[in-house]
Amino acid sequence: MIDILLMILTGIGVAFFGFVLQTSIAGVNRKVVARVQKRYGPKWYQEFLDIFKLLSKRSVTHGWIFDFGVIMALGVIIGTAMFMPLTSSFMAFDGYDNFFIFVYLIAVGMLGMAMSASGSGNPLASIGVMRALTTMLAYEVPFMIVVLTIIKLTGTSSLSEIGLFQQVAGNSWFLIALPIGGIVAVMALMGMLGKKPFETYIAPAEIASGPMVEYGGKQLGMLFIMHEITVFIEVSLFVHLFLGGAENIVLFIVKYFVVYTILNIISSVYGRFKIDQVVLFFYKWPLIMAITQAFIAIYLGWVI
């Protein structure tokens, strides 16, 4: 019993660590992007200020489903983050860091947010939700095919074991071992994070900031927290799957920072796709590349 409590507390610690880490790095990245665009940029802790300000404000609600969706979204994302291994040996629930759990639990978070947004009764929010789900349909399939290749090669779907597999002498990171798949994964990750050119569902100045249009105060603050933890999960997935996991926590933070910053820099120079262009884009080159990579790696055994 004490064991389980301890594990759960560790898990909550992991989720909290993820939140702090991602929020700080997001703050730093606001500065990085500002420099790319020749601005000065806000302080690195601006994101924390935003969230705490929102949490302390009074807000409006559109009925119980509006609140329930927010609670479900944040709660499930916290639950998902609790499974995330930080290094290849440190995680709250040893042996249960199954890749599919992350993919599907993130979807529950999305569902909660979508439900809450639709429950607000604002059609702009529904349009945002529609675009978010459509984007998800686009990026998820190529990404899953690349991960299929990795699972087939390593024989495990546990994130930490995939990380350890890459650390064995003679095996290189999957970003290098599967170069075509690696490119696909980077593109899919940009879609997951909602970075340009795939930020159609938020689309500032077009659909009044997408699914979030009706939110304010604590609901918005909670969704911000949820967003930060979701980003933490998605970037960590990439680090564990493609960048050889992490031997220690410092290496994890460094890899995490590099991935997130590079994506932000790429994103800051792009325009935005229309939603059907997003779908067409992902089902053309990334999917073909992912399938090619899978064929090469699984059937021909050509792995660098």
Partner 1 sequence: MTVEFLILVALASGILAYFVGRLNKVLGAVVTIVASMFIFIMIGYMMQDINAGTTFNYNAVEYMPDFVTFMVTYLGLFFAILVTFIFAMVSFFNPFFVEKYKYPALYSMLYLFSLAGVLGVFLTDNFMVLFFFFEFIVWSGLFLIPLGKNNKAAISYYAFSTAGSFALLYAIFIMFAETGSYNLHLGLATVSGTTEGTYVLALLAFAAFAKLGAFPLNVWLPRALGKAPDPITAVFSGGLEKLGAFVAVLALVKLAPVGDIAGTLGGLTEATFLFASQYIVATLGAMTIIFGTLMAIRQDDAKKLLAYSSMSNGGYILVALSLGGTLGLSGGLYHIVAHALASAAAFLAIGAVSRVTGTTKMSELGGMIHKMPVTYMVYLIAIISMAGIPPMGGFISKWLIFQAVIDNGLILIAVAVFFGSIGSFLYVFRPLAALFLGQELPQHRDKAKEAPFFMLLPMLILSGLIVFTGVMPNIFLDFINDVIAELGGTGLLLGDYTITGVNGVLQPTLIASVFGVGVLIAFIIFILLKKSKKVGLMDTYTAGNFIYTEELMHYSLDFYAPLERLYEKHINITKDFYKKLENKVVDFGRMVKYFFFTNKPEITVFWIIILIGFLLWGEL
CA distance 218 to 215: 8
Nearest residue (CB) to partner 1, 90 versus 93? 93
296 near partner 1 (CB under 8 A): no
The secondary structure of residue 266, as a DSSP letter, is H
160 near partner 1 (CB under 8 A): no
Find the angle CA(297)-CA(86)-CA(5) to the nearest 5 degrees.
125
**Size of interface with partner 1, in residues (CB under 8 A):** 93
249 near partner 1 (CB under 8 A): no
In a 13 Å sphere around the CA of 260, the CA atoms on its Cβ side amount to 27
Nearest residue (CB) to partner 1, 141 versus 183? 141
Residues 32, 33, 36, 148: which binds partner 1 (CB under 8 A)? 148
242 Cβ partners below 8 Å, 6+ apart? 173, 174, 175, 182, 185
Nearest residue (CB) to partner 1, 200 versus 264? 200
Amino acid in the structure at residue 68: F
- Rounded least distance, CB 97 to partner 1, Å: 9
105 near partner 1 (CB under 8 A): yes
14 near partner 1 (CB under 8 A): no
- Rounded least distance, CB 28 to partner 1, Å: 25
Site string for partner 1, 209-228 (x = CB under 8 A): ----xx--xxx-xx------
Place of tokens 């050889």: 244
CA distance 161 to 215: 40
